[in-house]
Chains A and B, each alone.
Chain A
């Protein structure tokens, strides 16, 4: 069975707008001959100005492709044009057909997956790099010390004091200078909080700075969490060179968070053998979509490398075996609201800065409560996160229609942030559709 992509998903394959424009012009039946799809591939002959037509064959799931053109942009306009036509016009690129000989031979010979094979080997010991790392650690430690003094000073004078109310931007700037972007982000967030939440935020930021001051005494997973939260990054190639977890990963959710500077895509996975949750993050410049697209409900056999942490969640995708296959027809197994709250509690016990934890809620009805919508599981209920967009609430309500449904999302102390909902027939819908990734 071949599943047609959405045109947005095709557009996400390139970040080159000129190539995309050229491809849109080719997304017409006219330039194509013998276009067809089947056996997981799409092919066609593209007539160019007077020359022999280009043979184009694409395997969208990889994605992998071959085109006879001289252009070296990958993917080229012919590949994208063919995929756009395939996505938008089933009549122009009929499915379930047999590939012609040239396409079939490429499909038979090509390497299994372009995602396979990643850089290996660790960087050679570099004394200069080691000295740089030492210098940075010292600056961050000094920053953490300064942050604690500044926070304590505010508490001494009182948060209601007009002299302490603002100035978080300046604190954040000092932390940027100290090369501690995580502490800087924490300080910036405080500006938007008041009362209860502000005190909690200040206390946890102080706790993070304090933890960094004695990071060498902490047990290793917690120390890694502290370093990551303070703002040290880990090289993903280095991670993949280390221990990886191979599993059949079920895609539970995909969400795009557009920002002024970057679009962040978050893809949540669930290891069907190991039972482990994982979160993949990828980014794209504004107006573009991130390259990695895994449709909700699909299963991908792949290696993941987790970022070291006290409650490991974020991971990078390594080698994958085959293409994302259609997953089970039933919604994923889940738990009730009480267990979801307990799951979050365990994550906080491991990592006190954790604000939410991914969880699948089973058999919950979407019902109005006194202070907004609730996900009710008979005995217990969880409130929706107050930032849940209006459209997302109504989509949840519509799919539920008053009946119990399965909802995947993040359970946190502020409420449940829904990501995916499965209807009665087991079909998933993204609650805030990720422009390219929704199935």
Chain B
């Protein structure tokens, strides 16, 4: 047994300990001479005690002689260098707070603010401290809406970590679009949402390549997937897409056909637009004396009309004639009217409308409604402005046709903000949620002031803050930083311990936090 080592002796001790010294003899010491001699000295008359003493000797010997492992061969592959400048110190501290989701001076709404922080930090091209990258990737894993920004901010180190942690695999898919081979793999094997994202980004960068990618696999895609892929073509839509969309008008799926028709109807110069214009001009003519518009609703939905996206039956049970008229007019290029009749949108809207057959005052509402839909679809600023009209005052309802929020979204940001501010002054917060949602963030100072004034009036009127929770949420995210002091003043003036006091207080804290966090990202000099 001379070849035995101290490790063998330990195994033998363990075997005896498990079965008991009553049943098994104490093993003879083995190993290097000094160890054997020391162990032999501990072989007292009581075998159990001797075993414990020898086991202690073996354990201490092993620990005291701890050896490192041999290093793995091959140099580790380091992460690619990240040339971006590092986040200012204060901003890095802020990110720690945002990722932890707590702290930072009271109950500000951090969940609302993290996405904004990420967008801002990403757009300024900062690199986060390495220690915060795992936290960023965890946030990206938990929250879809911050994923793209968090992953972009995490940069090459994020990818390096993701290659080593299966939980962060999504990072590789999110960033893989950069390399052509990876991109192809995503399109062939990726999850549906990843494929849509990939297609949308590719369209943004290279519309033709996006179209080619989609055309390549189009026949194999499922109908519901085809529908959403088609939607992605909205990005960078041009006449180059027309043949593909025309072909999609014959798709097996009704929804795909309808979406293709809608895209073509919004595409200036499309053949579908010209076909619709012909049908529209057959339905609407200018009276010989130019005094009114005469309407002859389309008689029936032909197979060709159906192919162009006109559904034969009204899904809502509206009058069949009115339905067909609306469908045709909404898909007609708006310049058809100004060009053919030589009138401005304002003049056209001012004209009386009559039924061509009996002269009855019909179809005005249908006509204006369809123009509004067309203005939204074609993103026609001139028409949208006229259709929307000036913001109504004194609580009167919105005059124009169509959904005001959708028309508003067509206008340039400053005009949107101005219109909504005027609306708030006349109407208060009641119907403002969608309009505010259509405005660009951060809100302009006049719009912000109007929102704060409306909140103040709502508080004074005795309304409950939670009936405006939607608007309050938007306000936390969007109010101009310069307006924060006004909110702080409201918080100070509100009757203490009321729901409004609490609401304004929380809003003020969130705004202050937001202002501070944006300032940190803006200035490289962190305050002392």
Contact = CB atoms under 8 A, between A and B. Distances in A.
Partners in one complex: yes
Interface of A: 1-4, 6-8, 24, 27, 29-30, 37-38, 84-85, 87-91, 94-96, 148, 151-153, 155-161, 195-196, 199-200, 202-204, 206-207, 210, 337-338, 340-342, 344-346, 348-349, 352, 354, 365-369, 374, 376-383, 391, 394-395, 397-399, 401-403, 413, 421, 423, 427, 429
B60 interface: yes
A207 B56 contact: yes
B52 A30 contact: no
B67 to A, nearest CB: 6
B46 A394 contact: no
Given A152-B46, A340-B68, A352-B56, A158 B78 contact: no
A200 B59 contact: yes
A202 B527 CA distance: 57
Contacts, number: 199
A205 B450 CA distance: 75
B131 A399 contact: yes
A158 B22 contact: yes
B62 interface: yes
A120 B157 CA distance: 54
A160 B69 contact: no
Given A159-B18, A369-B72, 18 more contacts: A3-B528, A30-B488, A38-B528, A88-B106, A90-B516, A91-B527, A196-B14, A199-B13, A202-B55, A203-B58, A345-B63, A345-B66, A346-B64, A348-B66, A381-B70, A382-B68, A397-B161, A421-B131
B359 interface: no
A89 B512 contact: yes
A1 B528 CA distance: 7
Interface string B121-159: 000000001110110000000000000000000000100
A183 to B, nearest CB: 15
Interface of B: 13-14, 17-23, 46-49, 51-53, 55-56, 58-60, 62-72, 76-79, 90, 93, 103-106, 129-131, 133-134, 157, 160-161, 164-165, 488, 492, 512, 515-516, 519, 526-528
B71 A399 contact: no
A89 B516 contact: yes
Contacts of B134: 391, 394-395, 397-398
Contact of B528 (A6, A7, A95): A95
Contact of B76 (A200, A342, A367): A367
B45 to A, nearest CB: 12
B69 A382 contact: yes
A156 B519 CA distance: 72
Given A158-B20, A374-B69, A378-B71, A152 B49 contact: yes
Contacts of A413: 62-63, 66
Contact of B69 (A157, A206, A380): A380
A376 B67 CA distance: 13
Contacts of B164: 368, 397
A225 to B, nearest CB: 13
B131 A398 contact: yes
Given A91-B519, A199-B13, A402-B79, A341 B52 contact: no
Contact of A155 (B21, B157, B165): B21
A203 B19 contact: no
A181 B20 CA distance: 28
Contacts of A348: 60, 63-64, 66
Contact of A158 (B23, B53, B55, B62): B23
A153 B18 CA distance: 12
Contacts of A29: 488
A110 B2 CA distance: 74
A423 B130 CA distance: 8
B105 A88 contact: yes
Which 7 pairs show the lowest CB-CB distances between chains A and B? A158-B20, A95-B528, A88-B105, A402-B78, A203-B55, A380-B68, A90-B527
Nearest to A378: B71
Contacts of A90: 90, 516, 526-528
Contacts of B79: 401-402
Contact of A395 (B69, B131, B519): B131
21 contacts: A6-B103, A7-B105, A29-B488, A90-B527, A91-B515, A91-B519, A91-B527, A152-B46, A158-B20, A158-B22, A203-B52, A380-B69, A381-B68, A381-B70, A397-B161, A398-B133, A398-B134, A398-B161, A399-B131, A401-B130, A413-B62
B68 A152 contact: no
B165 A394 contact: yes
A299 B269 CA distance: 73
Contacts of B14: 195-196, 199
A159 B60 CA distance: 21
A156 B22 contact: yes
A290 to B, nearest CB: 18
Contact of B77 (A346, A399, A402): A402
Nearest to A355: B63
A161 B20 CA distance: 8
Given A352-B60, A397-B161, A401-B160, A4 B528 contact: yes
Contact of B130 (A199, A207, A398): A398
A365 B56 contact: no
B76 A30 contact: no
A48 B105 CA distance: 21
Contacts of A342: 66
A253 to B, nearest CB: 14
Contact of A398 (B77, B157, B492): B157
A200 B55 contact: yes
Contacts of B528: 1-4, 37-38, 90, 95-96
B527 A27 contact: no
A349 B19 CA distance: 31
B512 A403 contact: no
B21 A156 contact: yes
A342 B65 CA distance: 7
The CB with the most chain A CB atoms within 10 A, among B58, B64, B78, is that of B64
A374 B72 contact: yes
The CB with the most chain A CB atoms within 10 A, among B93, B134, B516, is that of B134
B457 to A, nearest CB: 23
A4 to B, nearest CB: 7
A24 B106 contact: yes
Contacts of B157: 398, 401
Contacts of B58: 203
B104 A377 contact: no
Contact of B71 (A148, A156, A377, A403): A377
Contacts of A391: 134
A354 B19 CA distance: 29
A160 B22 CA distance: 13
A207 B53 contact: yes
B131 A423 contact: yes
Nearest to A402: B78
A159 B68 CA distance: 31
A210 B44 CA distance: 14
A218 to B, nearest CB: 15
Contact of B72 (A24, A349, A376): A376
Contacts of B55: 199-200, 202-203
A427 to B, nearest CB: 8
A322 B410 CA distance: 64
A108 to B, nearest CB: 21
A6 B93 contact: yes
Contacts of B51: 155
A158 B105 CA distance: 59
Contacts of B66: 341-342, 344-345, 348, 413
Contacts of B77: 402
B516 A91 contact: yes
A175 B164 CA distance: 47
A166 to B, nearest CB: 16
Contacts of B165: 394
A403 B76 CA distance: 8
A432 to B, nearest CB: 12
A155 B69 contact: no
A399 B132 CA distance: 9
